[in-house]
A = this chain, B = another copy of it.
Amino acid sequence: MKTPKPGIPVRGSKTGQPIMALLDLLGRSWAMGIIWHLYTGPNTFRGLQDYCESISPTTLNTRLKELRDCNLIERTLEGYALTEYGKELYELLEPMGNWARHRWVNSFKENNNKP
């Protein structure tokens, strides 16, 4: 699977606008989950496998490669870890946690839209 990077054609943009490359990258299974989890600290391949429960090693490996190619994570002595860029991105993602918990959930209580 081709790694989406700014400047090359990606899903949603033939010219590879950075935001579209980013949305393409993050819009793949487990990509955001991995970043979310790594913020708690570096982790090993098997550790991530356990965390993700249902991820296959094939997918985990390609996802890790993509995230490395895009400079969001790197390998350290303690396992995979977020880079500076990865941490910055996490911090942009973080507010979604509170929003999901405190705002989004309300939308399911209104007009009998049960989860």
Task: State the A residues within 8 Å of B (CB).
Answer: 5-8, 11-12, 14, 16, 18-23, 26-33, 36, 52-54, 69-71, 83, 85, 88-89, 92, 95-97, 99-101, 103-105, 107-108, 113, 115
Contacts and interface: CB of A to CB of B under 8 A. Distances in A.
B85 A89 contact: no
Nearest to A29: B27
A21 B53 contact: no
Given A53-B12, A104-B18, A107-B85, A23 B33 contact: yes
Contact of A18 (B6, B22, B105): B105
Interface of A is mostly: helix
A23 B32 contact: yes
Contacts of A29: 11, 27
B85 A19 contact: no
Contact of A27 (B16, B32, B70, B107): B32
A57 to B, nearest CB: 16
Contacts of A52: 12
B5 A115 contact: yes
